[in-house]
Amino acid sequence: DDLYLSYFAEFLRPGGQIGIVVPGLMKDFDGPVPEHLTRRQKSGGTFWAEDCRSFHTLQWWHHLWNRSSLVEVEIADTLPDGCEFWLRWERAVVAAGKSHFPSDVEVLEADGGKYLGFIRMIAHRSSL
């Protein structure tokens, strides 16, 4: 959540580290949401729902944290093969029969990391 940084920073001493890894966009859409993210999958679900508006790019997260006087960003990047890790997780959940939601395997295979992956941010608490 883009509003949690100030909340979590309260628990950090000056110099203390904070980090997140979140699903995100590897790049912004050039127009409407790509069709492979919005079409109904064989699992019955549609990946791109209203809540997906919380998916942001690395640049968006980096800008958000850099605007804050609470932290100093140390690392801001995307996880290499993040979409592949996500796909492996989805396949494992399906194989274990533990999915509470329709599988996203189909959309992750179609995307191949073009838009979907993981954003990593690591920062330390500023000395205020």
Per-residue pLDDT tens digits for 22-57: 999 999 999 999 999 999 999 888 999 988 989 999
| pTM score | 0.90
Amino acid 33: pLDDT: 96
Amino acid 128: pLDDT: 67
**Among 111, 120, 110, CA closest to 24:** 120
pLDDT-based confidence at residue 101 (cuts at 50, 70, 90): confident
Q: Is the pLDDT of residue 3 over 90?
A: no
User: How far, CA to CA in Å, does 5 sit from each of 88, 103, 119?
Assistant: 29, 30, 15
Specify whether the CB–CB gap between 122 and 18 falls below 8 A: yes
When pLDDT is averaged across residues 13-25 and rounded to a whole number, the result is 96
